[in-house]
Amino acid sequence: MNADNYKALQSENESLKATVSFLETRMQNAERAYDQLLYEMKQLARARFGSQSERFIDPEHPQQSLFLKENCQ
């Protein structure tokens, strides 16, 4: 193997290593973003459909609480 081929292969190897490093960083960022979005989606679903959603009293319409079952006794 002559010196020119060796240098070309070495250069290609360094270029591929840089590409792999860049893609690994992008993958890690995408995984973090995915995890954050999944967490937010679960929080929103919990807030929307969880047991506390039935007990929410709207500050815009506080009289609505007069019609709750527990207040009708």
In a domain, residue 58? The reply is no
Rg (CA), the chain: 29
pLDDT digits (tens, 9 = 90+) for 2-59: 989 999 999 999 999 999 999 999 999 999 999 999 999 999 988 888 765 556 566 6
Q: Is residue 40 part of a domain?
A: yes
pLDDT at residue 64 greater than cutoff 80: no
Residue with tokens 């929080």: 43
Domain that holds residue 28: 3-53
Determine, yes or no, domain membership for 70. Answer: no
pTM across the whole model: 0.57
Say if 64 falls within a structural domain: no
Q: Is residue 68 part of a domain?
A: no
Report if residue 32 sits inside a domain.
yes
Domain presence at residue 62? no
Q: What are the Cα distances from residue 53, in Å, to 11, 42, 44?
A: 60, 14, 11
**How many domains, the chain?**
1
The answer as to whether 63 is a domain residue is no
